[in-house]
Chains A and B, each alone.
Chain A
Amino acid sequence: MAKKKSGPELERATENLQTASQQPMQTTVDTSPQVLREPPEKRFAAQLSAIAAADTFAKPPGWKLSPRAVRTFLLGSEAAPLEKLSMEIERKFYGDDPLVDRTIVTLIGNRGLLLIGDPGTAKSMLSELLTAAISGTSELTIQGTAGTTEDQIKYSWNYALLLSEGPTRRSLVPAPLFRGLSEGRLVRFEEITRCPAEIQDTLISVLSDKVLHISEFEGEAGVLHARPGFNIIATANSRDRGVHEMSAALRRRFNFETVRPISDAEFELELVLQQAGNLLQQCQAVASLDRDVVRVLVETFHELRNGRTKEGALVEKPSAVLSTAEAVSVVMSAGIDAAHFGDGKVTGAHLGRQLTGAVFKDEPADVKKVRQYFDVIVKARASQDSNWRDFYAAREDMKT
């Protein structure tokens, strides 16, 4: 059995694919496959320069593109047309166009942007795309963990130089926040709520006064003023620690935006098939994914997540995360199962078996809820559809 990827790692992997899979034609044109994953400003370099060439609108100070052009980059040239564009731009973020408008506008203003949402809702992807389009780079990134220190956020020292020269600009090693301020670029702060509150609070003065104090330097040199174009995009997971522990002072300096799971089941199915297919290819498992078989799983995820079946009957929502990324991981594990222990054909039974692993983390109440879903909804469908019947067989595994 493949070890399940989890948390941000999986999220990243699927987001990566989410963007990559939307341009299957371009992957062949790609000339530098030497790295596993290129940042969006490299991956979409051609598109960005085409948009920049067609961009006639006023740009906020420090921005590489105008707000409208950024919108075109994210939503595609069909939904957000731009005159005189030399190539077609495909849509990169799905499901919530007004959210994109709001995020762009927030970044123009003097408040930071905080994206909250369940894991696997493409928050990080959205923040990468925004930084790539607005600042031309998505590399100024702080990864929030329980062990993140101020050094990793602001700046640290090259101690050899520090000893020989004292605190000079040469001995200072800039961290992403320092660079963002001095270069006038956007800084990404991933999983900000994973950091201790006192570390988070280092952002307060930066966000309100737009300055960074370097206490080691004397006089004017000790104050680094932000150049236009600087702002922060933070992401936070609504599942683990949440934003409640964030200090009120910091909270009011951010605009909060909730990123929701994809609401169109058919589109989600498409995405799951593509991504799981790619992942299976990567680990060289030969498994065939039937659309109707996978649809059973995606519909199940959808209905459990929304608390309502497509016919309108109500379903109790499990507390476990049922994001698109989780669906991909279930399909992928089922594929590996089928490839190595079966005839390579993924059936409802494979999916059902893996579902238990994905949903039953450590919450017995979830097992009950899913079992109830199987007893009532899946059982009824099983009598009419063989895919659901295979899937229903997994009910046997749900004894706790």
Chain B
Amino acid sequence: MNPEPMISQRELLERSNGWGKRLLDGPITFFPVRHHSPACAAHLSEWIARVCPRSIVIEGPSSFNRWIPCLVDEQCRPPVAVLTTYRPTSQSHGPRHSAFYPLCDYSPEWIAVRQGTAIGAKVQFADLEFADKVNVLFESTAEDQQEPEPSLLLTDESQWHHSQFIQRIVRRLGCRDFDELWDHLFESRFGVEDTHSFVGRLATYCDLSRMDHQERLAKDGTLAREAVMEKTIRAEFARLEKPTEQGTILVVTGGFHTVALAPTFDKSLTAQNVKTKTSTKPSAKLAKTDRTKQDKPLGDSARDEAQSNSWLIRYSYDQLDSLNGYQSGMPSPGFYDWMWRARSQSTTVRHAVAKMISEIARSTRGTTIPHEASVTDSIAAVAMLDQLAGLRGHEVPTRNDMLDAITSCMRKDSQVAADGLDAIVFRLLAGNAIGHVPASAGQPPIVDDFRNQCERLKLPATVIDSKQMSLELYRKPSHRQVSFFFHQLMYLGVPYAQLLDGPDFVHGYHLSKLSEDWQVGWSPGTEARLIEMASFGENVAGAAELRLEQEIRQMEKGETARDASAAVDKLITTCRMGLQAHGDRIIQLIMSFVAEDSVYASMASALSKLTLLMSAREPLEATRLDSLPDLVATCYRRACHLIDELVNVPDDQVDASLDGLCSMRELLSQVEDNHLDRELYVVALERLVAATNPFPRSEVAGAAAGILHSLGRLDENGVCHIIENYLDSSMTDVGAACGAVRGLMMTGRESFWRMRGLLLKIDQLFENWEEDRFRVALPHLRLAFSQLSPKEVDLVAERVAALHDIEDLGNLHHPTVTEGDMQFGLEIDRLMRRSMLEDGLDSATHPDRSHSGAGVSS
């Protein structure tokens, strides 16, 4: 959609000039804010102190009003968040939706609540309830195929980012992203601009960005939300008997809503007619939704608590940082916290930022990063900070000015190579503050969830006793639910259930076991740990999920090993916890590890684990993972690619690699509707056996030949040729040469009794070998033959005998000989040897070939 034709440039200019006066000068002040913006918070704080409104309406569900006493409690220390949850009645087993409403020291909403209460104003929230918001979202997207995903934050600002208009300004002004643009336009005049001009600019900006969104406003529930805000403001206006004094009512909402709300009141304020409906365009739209949507969702506000509820919980900057992947307001909350504190401590922002720079420089010292920043580096960075801010026209330095200064002055290498400096900088910029909630805020929801689950699943939850439970994973879905719950608790480190025995899908042990045995017992420590985990989520499953996500992010950042097999373990852990609904997302993350893992054995093991996961349907409920087949395919392709690396696979990976080759062949034969490209595997193996520089490891070549033969891609001659190449080679390590036989035995043992030519060839080769060479090779050949069952060994022996025209091998088994007889024979043998040695006849003690041949087969 192209927004330009909707409004002429002149109209726009006229409209933008009027915003400051229009929003601030009437009896109702419409104060636009961005959540977690220090500049907005500072202006709002000054405004409240100056105008002393009698009533303050803040964007936020009205049910949050009950948290206001807790928020103004002296013991309440941000960052805190109101956590709200909702499960639609229609889907009682469906997912429970939850969202946070975070507040930090410099949140305008926090300022409005705290400062408003202090001056005796009536403070209240006004917005659609979270439950209604979810319902509107589901209703409006009912016809779409995609299921909507309600934002994890009530203070979601994605509309700010995704507007085409904003994207254009970002590009035009040469900013890297929306956050830099915001800082450039608004935070960079922190403390120097007057409120009217600030509000005017902010409103113009929101006005323009809203144009792109006209089509989506009804769908995403924005109009319904604004209808509620409007209704509350009108009620306040009526309650205070149509005040005329400036700023009697203060409305603090996201700027995106302010520009729509204010015009609906323009006429009513001037014409003294609250009920007027003839106003500007957005108002007409608003009014329409007012009529259609309002009654239904708001009618049942007395909703069951089990369905929808809210809690005040402590929060952390770590969770507030959008760089951590939560869709939060602003990145690096720690930075803005410094900025905010500079204001209250009446130092300059520049001073605070300079202090941060030296803090960062200090943090680089004594670490492993290649260049430790010196004091001169800090000085250069601060000088650069000033210059950059000047060049970009910033009154106060912004976050990106600081990052740029650090990049220039402290990095002494190409930026492509991550050197840990970023990690230090972003850790410091994120901040580490953790909030505190007063005791009156009650128990965190996760504890209630734990108790409810225990009750539902009939598990001990109060008494200090312990019992053993056996869960039948395959037969009883209810037992599976309990198992999921236990695994979640175990993962969160909650001391409650301990796994004693059961199938281990991660390591592939005890897979035949059909049940899990647990030791279950409640202790005070159980709840203590749960309370610690409260900020991870409102229920046990949610907390486990968030924690899992963090771990995966750590893996992504390279803080832990990035091998595919370990990543797949994580996926299996996810399934064990019954979090399959999120498995698809984790699969996407795992895909990236798969692409980087360069060890064939690990990739093949990941592949076979994934196959296991696909087949272990019941206990792991893996059938619900839609993208698992895709992951298997990616893994498969990668494994095929890595087959090339097997040419010189290290000793310790030989067995695992051969197993991998076999399991891939199995996989190809299992998967009927082949979405795996069989050719990739076959061609890779063909490349492997054809490699000449260097020659592939003998085991690998033998195994590949066996597989290719079994797939009909290599004829008998080809197999013979490969084995011959190794056995007849000039390799000094005879044992290594014999590996070819071992490899072939592992993947195509039947060749040894089916291919007469192969036996003939090997027989001839052995015939030509030096005695010594054969003796050295013997243990290796024995190892190779250990792959075969005794019956198969007999079969091979028969065929070999036939080559020499011996039809009867005689009796190879002597069931009449007892163990005592054998020991007696051995003793005679030993004594004979000794006496021969004493007689100087030791050379005769060398075993001859036919003797040892029998040794192999017995």
Contact present for B592 and A314 (CB under 8 Å): yes
Q: Is B377 an interface residue (CB 8 A)?
A: yes
Q: Which residue of A lies closest to B417 (CB)?
A: A238
Q: Which residue of B lies closest to A75 (CB)?
A: B174
Q: Is B416 an interface residue (CB 8 A)?
A: yes
Contact present for A79 and B391 (CB under 8 Å): no
Q: Is A16 an interface residue (CB 8 A)?
A: no
Q: Is B122 an interface residue (CB 8 A)?
A: no
Contact present for B383 and A109 (CB under 8 Å): yes
Q: Which residue of A lies closest to B634 (CB)?
A: A313
Contact with B along A376-389 (1 / 0, CB 8 A): 10000000000000
Contact present for B595 and A98 (CB under 8 Å): no
Q: Which residue of A lies closest to B595 (CB)?
A: A314
Contact present for A243 and B391 (CB under 8 Å): no
Which listed residue, B413, B596, B644, touches A368 by the CB 8 Å rule?
A: B644
Contact present for A79 and B376 (CB under 8 Å): no
Q: Is B380 an interface residue (CB 8 A)?
A: yes
Inside 8 A of A256's CB, which chain B residues have their CB? 408, 411-415
Q: How many A-B residue pairs have CB under 8 A?
A: 95
Inside 8 A of A78's CB, which chain B residues have their CB? 172
Cα distance, A255 to B408, chains bound together (Å) = 5
Inside 8 A of A307's CB, which chain B residues have their CB? 595
Looking at A17-25, A30-38, A99-107, A225-233, the stretch in contact with chain B turns out to be A99-107
Q: Is B492 an interface residue (CB 8 A)?
A: no
Contact present for B391 and A67 (CB under 8 Å): yes
Contact present for A101 and B391 (CB under 8 Å): yes
Q: Is B387 an interface residue (CB 8 A)?
A: yes
Contact with A along B619-649 (1 / 0, CB 8 A): 0000000000000001001000100100000
A: contact size bracket: 35 or more
Q: Is B374 an interface residue (CB 8 A)?
A: yes
B residues 397-414 touching A (CB-CB < 8 Å): 400, 404-405, 407-409, 411-414
Inside 8 A of A242's CB, which chain B residues have their CB? 414
Q: Which one of A104, A244, A314 has the greatest number of beta carbons of chain B within 10 Å?
A: A314
Contact present for A116 and B174 (CB under 8 Å): no
Q: Is A97 an interface residue (CB 8 A)?
A: yes
A residues 349-400 touching B (CB-CB < 8 Å): 368, 372, 375-376
Inside 8 A of B594's CB, which chain A residues have their CB? 314
Contact present for B391 and A109 (CB under 8 Å): no
Using known A-B contacts A78-B172, A105-B391, determine if residue A255 contacts B409 with beta carbons closer than 8 Å: yes
Using known A-B contacts A252-B374, A255-B380, A256-B413, determine if residue A105 contacts B174 with beta carbons closer than 8 Å: no
Inside 8 A of A258's CB, which chain B residues have their CB? 414-416
Inside 8 A of B172's CB, which chain A residues have their CB? 78-79
Cα distance, A109 to B174, chains bound together (Å) = 23
Q: Is A111 an interface residue (CB 8 A)?
A: yes
A residues 71-118 touching B (CB-CB < 8 Å): 71, 75, 78-80, 97-98, 101-102, 104-106, 108-109, 111, 116-117
Cα distance, A106 to B406, chains bound together (Å) = 12
Contact present for A98 and B400 (CB under 8 Å): yes
Using known A-B contacts A252-B412, A315-B595, determine if residue A102 contacts B404 with beta carbons closer than 8 Å: yes
Contact present for B377 and A252 (CB under 8 Å): yes
Shortest distance from the beta carbon of A362 to any chain B beta carbon, whole Å: 14
Cα distance, A368 to B174, chains bound together (Å) = 39
Q: Is B384 an interface residue (CB 8 A)?
A: yes
Using known A-B contacts A243-B413, A315-B595, determine if residue A111 contacts B380 with beta carbons closer than 8 Å: yes
Inside 8 A of A255's CB, which chain B residues have their CB? 380, 384, 408-409
Q: Is B10 an interface residue (CB 8 A)?
A: no
Shortest distance from the beta carbon of A55 to any chain B beta carbon, whole Å: 14
Shortest distance from the beta carbon of B277 to any chain A beta carbon, whole Å: 44
Q: Is B392 an interface residue (CB 8 A)?
A: yes
Q: Is B762 an interface residue (CB 8 A)?
A: no
Using known A-B contacts A68-B391, A111-B380, A252-B376, determine if residue A98 contacts B404 with beta carbons closer than 8 Å: yes
Q: Which residue of B lies closest to A98 (CB)?
A: B404
Using known A-B contacts A257-B408, A315-B595, determine if residue A79 contacts B173 with beta carbons closer than 8 Å: yes
Q: Is B388 an interface residue (CB 8 A)?
A: yes
Shortest distance from the beta carbon of B486 to any chain A beta carbon, whole Å: 35
Q: Which one of B172, B400, B413 has the greatest number of beta carbons of chain A within 10 Å?
A: B413
Using known A-B contacts A79-B174, A102-B407, A315-B595, determine if residue A238 contacts B388 with beta carbons closer than 8 Å: no
Inside 8 A of A59's CB, which chain B residues have their CB? none
Q: Is B591 an interface residue (CB 8 A)?
A: yes
B: contact size bracket: 35 or more
Q: Which residue of B lies closest to A76 (CB)?
A: B174
Q: Which residue of A lies closest to B384 (CB)?
A: A105
Contact present for A109 and B413 (CB under 8 Å): no
Inside 8 A of B380's CB, which chain A residues have their CB? 109, 111, 255
Contact present for B384 and A109 (CB under 8 Å): yes
Contact with B along A212-249 (1 / 0, CB 8 A): 00000000000000000000000000100011100000
Q: Which one of A75, A255, A260 has the greatest number of beta carbons of chain B within 10 Å?
A: A255
Contact with A along B639-681 (1 / 0, CB 8 A): 0010010000000000000000000000000000000000010
Inside 8 A of A12's CB, which chain B residues have their CB? none
Shortest distance from the beta carbon of B680 to any chain A beta carbon, whole Å: 6
Q: Which residue of B lies closest to A78 (CB)?
A: B172
Using known A-B contacts A98-B176, A105-B408, A258-B415, determine if residue A314 contacts B591 with beta carbons closer than 8 Å: yes
Inside 8 A of B376's CB, which chain A residues have their CB? 252
Shortest distance from the beta carbon of B433 to any chain A beta carbon, whole Å: 29
Contact present for B412 and A105 (CB under 8 Å): no
Using known A-B contacts A243-B414, A257-B408, determine if residue A102 contacts B595 with beta carbons closer than 8 Å: no
Contact present for A108 and B592 (CB under 8 Å): no
Cα distance, A215 to B592, chains bound together (Å) = 60
Using known A-B contacts A314-B595, A368-B644, determine if residue A238 contacts B637 with beta carbons closer than 8 Å: no
Contact with A along B369-381 (1 / 0, CB 8 A): 0010010110010
Q: Which residue of B lies closest to A369 (CB)?
A: B641
Q: Which one of A75, A242, A316, A372 has the greatest number of beta carbons of chain B within 10 Å?
A: A372
Inside 8 A of A109's CB, which chain B residues have their CB? 380, 383-384, 387
Inside 8 A of A75's CB, which chain B residues have their CB? 174
Inside 8 A of B644's CB, which chain A residues have their CB? 368
Contact with A along B149-167 (1 / 0, CB 8 A): 0000000000000000000
Contact present for B414 and A117 (CB under 8 Å): yes
Q: Is A251 an interface residue (CB 8 A)?
A: yes
Cα distance, A108 to B380, chains bound together (Å) = 11
Contact present for B174 and A97 (CB under 8 Å): yes
Using known A-B contacts A251-B412, A258-B416, determine if residue A101 contacts B404 with beta carbons closer than 8 Å: yes
Inside 8 A of A108's CB, which chain B residues have their CB? 387
Q: Which residue of B lies closest to A67 (CB)?
A: B391
Contact present for A316 and B595 (CB under 8 Å): yes
Q: Which residue of A lies closest to B633 (CB)?
A: A376
Inside 8 A of B404's CB, which chain A residues have their CB? 98, 101-102
Cα distance, A75 to B172, chains bound together (Å) = 10
Cα distance, A67 to B389, chains bound together (Å) = 12
- Further contacts, 10 of them, CB under 8 A, given A102-B407, A111-B380, A313-B591: A67-B387, A98-B176, A101-B388, A101-B391, A238-B416, A255-B384, A256-B413, A257-B407, A258-B416, A368-B641
Q: Which residues of B contact A (CB under 8 A)?
A: 172-176, 371, 374, 376-377, 380, 383-384, 387-388, 390-392, 400, 404-405, 407-409, 411-416, 591-592, 594-596, 634, 637, 641, 644, 680
Which 6 pairs, one residue from A and one from B, show the smallest C-beta to C-beta distance?
Answer: A97-B174, A314-B595, A258-B415, A105-B387, A255-B408, A238-B414
List 22 A-B residue pairs with CB atoms under 8 Å apart, sorted by A's residue number.
A68-B391, A78-B172, A102-B408, A105-B384, A105-B387, A105-B388, A105-B391, A105-B408, A109-B380, A109-B384, A109-B387, A238-B416, A243-B413, A251-B371, A256-B408, A256-B415, A257-B407, A257-B408, A314-B591, A314-B594, A316-B595, A368-B641
